[in-house]
Chains A and B, each alone.
Chain A
Amino acid sequence: MGKKEILLSIFFIIISMTIYVLTYQFPKQTVALSPKVFPQFVSACLFILSLVLLIQGITGVKKESEQKKVKLALNNIFLLKMLTMIILAFFYTRILMIVGFVVATPPFIAGSMLLFNEKKWFLIVTVSIVATAVLYILFRIVFKIPLPRFNLF
C-alpha cells in the first residue's frame, strides 16, 4: 500500500463520481427497472470501496521505504519498451485494414521480437515470415475466417 494505491483510488473515485453524475441524464422510468438504477448502485459501491482504498493508501504511504528508488532506472527502460509496444500495436491495428494482413504482420512481429530482445536478424526475418504464413493458413484456409486484404480502391 502506498502512493500507487492513492493515485488509483483517486482515479476510481473520479470514474465512479462521473458515472453517477452522468446517470442523471437518463430518462425517468416509473415501471420496472430504470436504466439509471444499476449504474448508480455500482458506481456508489465503487466510490465507497475506492475511499476505503484511499484510506489504506494514506496509512500505508508512511511505511513506504525509499529502497524502491534503485529500481526506478530499470523500470524506466521497461516503460519505454512497453510504450513502444503499445504504439507499435496501435499502428498495426490501424494499417492492417489499409495494407492487409500479409503486408502488415511481418514488420509487426519483427518489431515485437526486437522489443523482446531478440538480436539474431536471420531468426527475426524467418519467424516473422513463417508465423505470418502459418497464421494466414490457420485463419484463412483451415477455419475460413476472412483476414484484412490490401485493396487499391
Chain B
Amino acid sequence: MAIIQGFLYVLQPLHFMFLFLGVAGGIIVGAIPGLTASVGIILLLPLVYQLDASTAIVMLCGMFCGAMYGGSISAILLSIPGTPSAAATVLDGYPLSQKGEAGKAIGVATIASATGGIISTFCLIFIAPQLARFALKFGPEEYFALMIFGLTIIASVSGKSLVKGLIAGFFGLLVATVGLDPVTGYARFSFNIPNLMAGFPLLPVLIGLFAISQIFIQLEAVGEKIRHYKQKINKVLPSFKELKRLLPTIIASSFLGTFIGIIPGTGGTIASFLAYNEAKRWSKDPDSFGKGNILGVAAPEAANNSTTGGAMVPLLSLGIPGDVVTAVMLGALLLIGIKPGPFLFREHPEIVNSIFAGMLLANVLILLLGILSVRLFPQVLRTPDAILFPVILTLCFLGAFSLNNSVYDMSVALIFGVIGYIMRKNSFPIAPVVLGVILGPIAEDELGRALIIAHGDWTVLFQSPIAIFFYAISLLSLLYSLKMQFSTCCCSPKKGSWNY
C-alpha cells in the first residue's frame, strides 16, 4: 500500500503543521465573502513556492478543501455565501440560523463537508491511477485534443454571456502567446523588451486577475454593507438519531458531488444545487426546504466538498482542470514544478501519494477544526474591510514580488488587476482568461510536438480514435453551452455576486 508512505510523509510534524495551516487558512479565506478558494491558493502560492514540492502541494490541497468548507460559515450566519459553491447552503442554513440553530447548522455543514471530502478522496484514490494508466497511451496528438477539450470548459464557465466568455478565453490565449514560442524559441510580441521575452509571469497574472481585481470591487462596495451576525452558536453536534437520519443524504450527495466534480466544466456550485434539489425531491417533507430544513444544509455541503476529490481526478491523471479552482491549482502545480498527468503517477508516485494522504487528512482536520473552533472561525467575519483588504493588497504585491524578486512582476499584477476589474465590471468572466493563459501554451506545445513527429502533416491530428473522441466531446460540450445560453437563465447569479 503505497498510500501509507503518503501518510507517513504528511504525518511528519513539520508537514502536518503546513497542512494544518493550509486547512485553517482555507477555512478563514472561504468564510470571508469576497475571497474564494482560488484567491486563497493564489495568495498561498508565493509562500509555499520555496518549500519541498510535496509539502507545498499538501498545503495547497489543505487550502482548497478548507476554503470549500469555509464558505458555509458566512452562508449560514450572514446569508452571504463565502464562496460561490456555498450559495445553495444559504437557502436553509440562514433560516436555521434565524431560528437560533446556527450552531447545529454549522455542525452539520462540518460533518457533511468532511464526509463528502473523504468519500471523494477515496474515489480519487481508486479512479485517478486507472485513468492515468490509460492516459499513458496518449501521444502529442491525443494530448492536443485533450487540451482542446480542456479549453471548452471556457464555454461552461462563461456565465451569462457566451460571447463575452469566449472573448475572455481568447484574450487569455493571446496573453499566453507573448514570449518565447515553445517550438521554435522565437520571441513573439516582446518588442525587444527582455521582461516580455519570458512572457507574462503566471503568478502575477493570477494575482492580478483574481485577487487585486477583487480588492477594487470591494473598494467600490465601501460603506454599502456591514457584516454582522448576532446569532449564538451553541449545540453544534447533532444527536445520534438525527445523524442517522442525515447520513443517507450526506453519502448520496457525496457521490453525486464526486461524479459532478469529475466532469470538466462543472464545479461545486452546480453540484451543490443539484444535491439540494435531489434531497428536496426525495424528502418526505419537501415544503420545509427553504424554511430551515437541516437536510438542505447537509446535501449541498456534502456535494460541494466532494467536488474537491472529483475535480482532482482529471487534473492529476490527465492534466486538465475540472473547474476554475482546479485551473488555478494546475497553474500552482506548474509553478511549483509539478506537471500533472499520467507521467506524474509513473515518475513521482510519492507526490501523488502525498496528495491522496493530504486530502484525506485535510478533511479529517476540517471535521476537528470545524467542531472544536466553531465559535472561533466566525469571528473573522467581524474583521472590518478597511483592515482586511489593505493587508491582502500588500500580500498580493509581496506575493508577486517574491517569486522572482522583481518589480516588473508587481507591475504585471497591478496591470492585470485593473484589466480584471474592468472585465468583471463589464460582465466579462475572468475564469476563461485564466484557462486560456494556463492551457494555451500546453495546447500549442503538444500541437507543435505532434506536427514535428508527423513532419508537418496536419492530418495526424485527426487519425487517432482517442483524439477524435475528445474532439467529439469538445463539440458536444460547446453545443451544450450554446443550448444552455439560449434556454432560460433561471440560475443566473444575482447582481453583485460572484463573477469568476
> Pick the contact of A86 from B48, B50, B410, B418 — CB < 8 Å?
B418
> How far in angstroms is the closest Cβ of chain A from B246?
39
A4-38 at interface with B (beta carbon < 8 Å): 4-5, 8, 12, 15-16, 19, 22-23, 26-27, 29-35, 38
Contacting pair B401 A26 (CB below 8 A):
no
Interface size on B, residues (CB 8 A): 58
> How far in angstroms is the closest Cβ of chain A from B383?
11
Contacting pair B164 A19 (CB below 8 A):
no
- B387 CB contacts on chain A under 8 angstroms: 113, 118, 123, 127, 131
Determine whether B123 belongs to the interface, using a CB cutoff of 8 Å to chain A: no
- A32 CB contacts on chain B under 8 angstroms: 183, 448, 451-452, 455-456
> How far in angstroms is the closest Cβ of chain A from B42?
16
> Pick the contact of A43 from B50, B174, B402 — CB < 8 Å?
B174
B residues sitting closer than 8 Å to A (CB atoms) are: 46-51, 163-164, 166-167, 170-171, 173-174, 177, 181, 183-184, 186, 188-189, 216, 218-220, 222-223, 384-387, 389-391, 393-395, 397-398, 401-402, 405, 407, 410-411, 414, 418, 421, 426, 428, 440, 444, 447-448, 451-452, 455-456
Query: Assuming the A-B contacts A89-B397, A97-B407, are A33 and B163 also in contact, with contact meaning beta carbons closer than 8 angstroms in the complex?
Result: no
CB<8 Å pairs between A and B, sample of 7 = A33-B183, A33-B452, A53-B167, A96-B401, A112-B394, A123-B387, A148-B405
Distance in angstroms between the alpha carbons of A109 and B47 in the assembled complex: 20
Interface size class of A (residues with CB under 8 A): 35 or more
Interface-centre pick from B173, B395, B428 (highest chain A CB count, 10 A): B173
> Pick the contact of A93 from B389, B414, B426, B444 — CB < 8 Å?
B414
Query: Assuming the A-B contacts A4-B426, A26-B186, A117-B223, are A93 and B397 also in contact, with contact meaning beta carbons closer than 8 angstroms in the complex?
Result: yes
Looking at chain B's contact residues, is the secondary structure mostly helix, strand, loop, or mixed?
helix
Query: Which B-chain residue is minimally distant from A93 (CB atoms)?
Result: B410
- A27 CB contacts on chain B under 8 angstroms: 184, 186
- A30 CB contacts on chain B under 8 angstroms: 456
- A85 CB contacts on chain B under 8 angstroms: 216, 219
> Pick the contact of A52 from B163, B222, B426, B456 — CB < 8 Å?
B163
- List 15 other contacts, CB 8 Å, given A116-B222, A117-B223, A139-B47: A8-B426, A15-B174, A19-B177, A27-B184, A32-B451, A33-B452, A38-B173, A82-B219, A85-B216, A89-B393, A96-B407, A109-B391, A127-B390, A127-B391, A131-B394
